[in-house]
A and B are shown apart, each in its own frame.
Chain A
Amino acid sequence: MASGSPVPQEKVGKASPPPRTPPSQAAVLEFFRAISPGLPQIEFCIQCGSCGGSCPAAALLDHTPRRLFALIRAGEMEDVLQSNTPWYCVSCYFCMVRCPQEIHITDLMYGLKTLAYQRGYTKNNKATHLSKVFAGYIERYGRSFELGIAARHYLRHPPSNLVGTAKMGSAMFFKGRLHLRPERINGLTQLQKILERARELETAL
């Protein structure tokens, strides 16, 4: 507990953790500069909780954002990457505009998502699946495709109230708000080339 970060739930009851010197803060910061554009300012967190207080999804989070930052600085990356927090982030940016230290919280959440995803921490995670389906259509057509996305996503993760959702869907359809087939852009191959190259340039995470 030297780091001041609370002991993650699953560790409760186990023997006290072996003594471990936390990672070099410089290295941690460098790393987050690498995965988040500009200067994310994570080092300035004063643990005030404006983020957790403002978060619309707070009820679902296993760690509030500021706690994630504490864990990161304590070197508890395992807990961070397993955390559901980034995946419940709906990008409302409340935390970011309210943070008294002007930390780029939302940007960091994106960074953490990519990190967790690319390190394979997100098996059967609803949010990841949604993102993957969405991304899939973009890479295949260059545009998103609501009907397809909904179908594929709900196939894997059926909504709590299937009837309601279906009703809404049909209503949408009849009001001409859902297309039956996706739009495809002309420069698709070009786009794919770009994305391919970009993936090569991705920071090794």
Chain B
Amino acid sequence: MTSSNSTDGNVRVGVYVCHCGSNIAGVVNVFEVAKWAQENLVEQGVVVAKENKFMCSSLGQKLIEEDIQKENLDRVVVAACSPHLHETTFRGAVSRAGLNPYLCEMASIREQVSWVTSDQTAATEKAKAMVAGAVARVRQHVPLESIRVPINSSTLVVGGGIAGIQASLEIANSGFHVYLLEREPSIGGHMAQFDKTFPTLDCAACILTPRMSEAGMHSNIELLTWSEVENVEGYLGNYTVTVRKKARYVDTSLCTGCGICQQKCPKNVIDDQFEVGLGYRKAIYTPFEQAVPRFPVLDKDNCIFFEKGTCRACEKFCAPGAIKLEDQDEIITLNVGNVILATGYDMFDARRIPRYGYGKLANVFTSLEFERMCNAAGPTNGAIVLRDGRTPAKSVGIIHCVGSRDHKFNAYCSAICCMQSLKFAHLVKERTGADVYNFYIDMRTAAKDYDEFYQKVLEEGTNLIRGKVAEVIDGGLFDEKAGQLIIQVEDTLIGKQRRIPVDMVILAIGLEPKQDAANVAHQFGISRGANGWFTEKHPKLDPVATMTDGIFIAGCAAGPKDIPASVSQGSAAAARVVSYIQQKELSLEPVRAYIDAEQCSGCRICNGLCPFHAISFDELKMVSEVHQALCQGCGTCVAACPAGAVTGSGFTNQQVLAQIEGLLSVPIHADVLQAVAA
């Protein structure tokens, strides 16, 4: 019993081998490969085999189109780069010539052969094998038609940071409805906490708050603050999202946002959220003056009334009687066509690096704490002082890469810390004239006007020491430098260990994925990379889309970014969504699974396997069925079906098995490789 019997023997295949300039031709003998295919794959149905300098060029594509006409080919194989780069290109060419685009197959002889193989002969042999595999596979291809689904025109944006706000405004301005969901009482995100923004040094609040209020008042934007996503169902164009609106204990329809309740509330609470533990707030509060919406929330855990049952100060003084102490969480359901996740980031917990003394040494601060300290509206009204709240710092050490670029914590570069640290250096200089030491591994100032800013900071006489700080020690222990902190570091540019006394240390802590990113990813059915950030559909060519149709990502949710980058991603995601909405109806990749009811025995083995709940069981017919729009095409059910009743179009058993046979049909030449080894 053999497998390759699905299509008739007389298919006509055209093989096209790309030089990619010298990228492929430099290592693989493309002429030999083409010739070999022409001669040896005849019984496989190969009628033409050609090589060309650049297959992806218009000329290369033309070549294919003409051959399809002339030689009336019904299958095409392009041996070139990775399909992830040019599959669409060549499918386009094929369909322009009137063939079904899915009758084209690529062999990645650049990424998988020429670029990774040193020996030419070995590379050429492997290239032949891959062509043989592709030909064998394409013989089994069948025309596929994509599936069409309608698109609901409203959109859910999760996360009210600058990226989320930007995305919402873009979509709203193009006339479509947006739900902007935020976990905190106000939108604004981390940017609202910052003081100045590099490199232009304009104050964060001044540029952010107008956007916030615009979003707050926009007729197409519905704000859902103090809310969290409970559950997500559906697929591109038709998502159903369940949202929990947490009890605010304030009736937003009555509240005027006058703030009297906050004045009168007797309970002082350390503000771990907005003031990152450096300042105080009341039990009923808006996180900051310009909060949007301006309605406060009541923090149940700290409220005297919820502790003791008495107080009600807020209630007494609230003129419109907006305080609603019996308020309850509310569950609402949204129907949206697309989702943009702009869920942002968490800051690295500096306590994980005890040798830097954060939490033990009073005058070690984190960058976010320092942002608040510098902020005129912050706990010190912008004064740069030691933990005691009055003594100004005379010398400040700023440590870069805290928790970043370190395999024990986060191996990646947090991208913003260099500029942020330089900004701090400038602010300290500007406001206190204190000595500033920046300890860096590499100075990364690669964006418009960033290096100019670096120059400026150099000019101000900041001490830049190239070296990763080893430890921060309390000078009082020895060295008679009581109260001072000693930064021990190797100054790698002079190759000596230095021990530098300072009054204040700022740790430029890195960015990390939200601690609940895993849940979010699971809820929305998207994946995360090794470091926990959401994965883009393509890191370069499709940075705001995800692998799941209709779910987009923007800002730091996909990795560390500065404000300009986050904003442009917000806009980009919005643009993608709007283009979907305007198409009203969308076609999905036809790589889907379907079940042959005749063969299905209803054993229900596949039923539990689908993470997208695309497989259902028909109790009457006693067979399982796949919901085409829900199916994402992973093929797990195909592989798992004991009866072989499930077919995964685009990756059928026949296709894969044929490709395996083809790949292995070209033997490996020991002598060739022996030569390589020698």
Touch between chains A and B, by CB atoms below 8 Å: yes
What residues make up the interface of A, taking CB atoms closer than 8 Å to B?
Answer: 6, 46-55, 58-59, 63-64, 66-67, 94, 98, 100-102
User: Are A66 and B470 in contact (CB-based, < 8 A)?
Assistant: no
What chain A residues lie within 8 Å of B466 (beta carbons)? 49
User: Are B495 and A53 in contact (CB-based, < 8 A)?
Assistant: no
User: Are A54 and B471 in contact (CB-based, < 8 A)?
Assistant: yes
- Tell me the complex Cα distance, A51–B405, Å: 15
User: Are B495 and A6 in contact (CB-based, < 8 A)?
Assistant: yes
Segment with Cβ contacts to A, from B32-40, B229-237, B443-451, B485-493: B485-493
What chain A residues lie within 8 Å of B491 (beta carbons)? 49
What is the minimal beta-carbon distance from A51 to any residue of chain B, in angstroms?
7
What is the minimal beta-carbon distance from B341 to any residue of chain A, in angstroms?
30
Interface centre among B405, B408, B467, B495 (most CB of A within 10 A): B495
User: Are A55 and B441 in contact (CB-based, < 8 A)?
Assistant: no
* Contact code string B460-504 (vs A, CB < 8 Å = 1, else 0): 000000111111000000000000000011111001110000000
From A46, A53, A101, contact of B490 by CB (8 A): A53
User: Are A48 and B408 in contact (CB-based, < 8 A)?
Assistant: no
**In the complex, how many residues of chain B place their beta carbon closer than 8 angstroms to a beta carbon of chain A?**
21
What chain B residues lie within 8 Å of A59 (beta carbons)? 497
What is the minimal beta-carbon distance from A102 to any residue of chain B, in angstroms?
5
How many CB-defined contacts (below 8 Å) exist between A and B? 67
User: Are B468 and A48 in contact (CB-based, < 8 A)?
Assistant: yes
The verdict on A67 contacting B495 (CB below 8 Å), with A100-B408, A101-B407 known, is: yes
Interface centre among A6, A47, A49, A94 (most CB of B within 10 A): A49
From B467, B496, B497, contact of A48 by CB (8 A): B467
- Tell me the complex Cα distance, A49–B408, Å: 16
What chain A residues lie within 8 Å of B67 (beta carbons)? none
8 more A-B contacts (CB under 8 A) besides A98-B470, A102-B407? A48-B441, A52-B496, A52-B497, A53-B468, A64-B496, A66-B492, A67-B492, A100-B468
The verdict on A49 contacting B406 (CB below 8 Å), with A55-B497, A59-B497 known, is: no
The verdict on A49 contacting B467 (CB below 8 Å), with A58-B496, A67-B495 known, is: yes
What chain A residues lie within 8 Å of B441 (beta carbons)? 46-48
What chain A residues lie within 8 Å of B492 (beta carbons)? 47-49, 52, 64, 66-67
The verdict on A64 contacting B497 (CB below 8 Å), with A49-B466, A98-B470 known, is: yes
What is the minimal beta-carbon distance from B408 to any residue of chain A, in angstroms?
7
From B355, B405, B471, B489, contact of A49 by CB (8 A): B489
From A52, A100, A102, contact of B467 by CB (8 A): A52
Select from chain A the residue with minimum beta-carbon distance to B404: A100
Interface centre among B406, B407, B468, B489 (most CB of A within 10 A): B468
- Tell me the complex Cα distance, A53–B495, Å: 10
User: Are B495 and A50 in contact (CB-based, < 8 A)?
Assistant: no
From A6, A50, A55, A67, contact of B468 by CB (8 A): A50
What is the minimal beta-carbon distance from A79 to any residue of chain B, in angstroms?
12
Interface centre among B466, B469, B491, B497 (most CB of A within 10 A): B497
User: Are B497 and A58 in contact (CB-based, < 8 A)?
Assistant: yes
From A6, A53, A102, contact of B497 by CB (8 A): A53
User: Are A49 and B407 in contact (CB-based, < 8 A)?
Assistant: no
From B407, B471, B495, contact of A100 by CB (8 A): B407
- Tell me the complex Cα distance, A66–B405, Å: 16
What chain A residues lie within 8 Å of B496 (beta carbons)? 52, 58, 64
Within residues 565 to 620 of chain B, which ones have a CB less than 8 A from any CB in chain A? none
What chain A residues lie within 8 Å of B471 (beta carbons)? 53-54
What is the minimal beta-carbon distance from A26 to any residue of chain B, in angstroms?
12
- Tell me the complex Cα distance, A58–B471, Å: 14
Select from chain B the residue with minimum beta-carbon distance to A5: B495
What chain B residues lie within 8 Å of A55 (beta carbons)? 490, 497
- Tell me the complex Cα distance, A71–B491, Å: 17
What chain A residues lie within 8 Å of B405 (beta carbons)? 46, 48, 100
Within residues 175 to 215 of chain B, which ones have a CB less than 8 A from any CB in chain A? none
User: Are A53 and B408 in contact (CB-based, < 8 A)?
Assistant: no
The verdict on A64 contacting B408 (CB below 8 Å), with A48-B467, A52-B497 known, is: no
- Tell me the complex Cα distance, A66–B493, Å: 11
- Tell me the complex Cα distance, A6–B495, Å: 9
- Tell me the complex Cα distance, A67–B355, Å: 23
Write 25 A-B pairs (CB below 8 A) sorted by A numbering. A47-B441, A47-B492, A49-B466, A49-B468, A49-B489, A49-B490, A52-B467, A52-B490, A52-B492, A52-B497, A53-B467, A53-B488, A53-B490, A53-B497, A54-B470, A59-B497, A64-B490, A64-B492, A64-B496, A66-B490, A94-B470, A100-B405, A100-B406, A100-B408, A102-B407
- Tell me the complex Cα distance, A203–B168, Å: 66
Select from chain B the residue with minimum beta-carbon distance to A65: B490
- Tell me the complex Cα distance, A59–B442, Å: 24
- Tell me the complex Cα distance, A58–B442, Å: 22
Within residues 397 to 439 of chain B, which ones have a CB less than 8 A from any CB in chain A? 405-408
User: Are B407 and A51 in contact (CB-based, < 8 A)?
Assistant: no
What chain A residues lie within 8 Å of B467 (beta carbons)? 48-49, 52-53
> Which 3 interchain pairs have the tightest Cβ spacing?
A52-B490, A53-B470, A58-B497
What is the minimal beta-carbon distance from B349 to any residue of chain A, in angstroms?
17
What is the minimal beta-carbon distance from B401 to any residue of chain A, in angstroms?
8
User: Are A64 and B495 in contact (CB-based, < 8 A)?
Assistant: yes
The verdict on A53 contacting B489 (CB below 8 Å), with A48-B467, A100-B468 known, is: yes
What chain A residues lie within 8 Å of B355 (beta carbons)? 98
Select from chain B the residue with minimum beta-carbon distance to A48: B468
- Tell me the complex Cα distance, A13–B560, Å: 47
Interface centre among A6, A50, A51, A67 (most CB of B within 10 A): A50
Within residues 362 to 384 of chain B, which ones have a CB less than 8 A from any CB in chain A? none
- Tell me the complex Cα distance, A50–B489, Å: 7
What is the minimal beta-carbon distance from B352 to any residue of chain A, in angstroms?
13
What chain B residues lie within 8 Å of A48 (beta carbons)? 405, 441, 467-468, 492
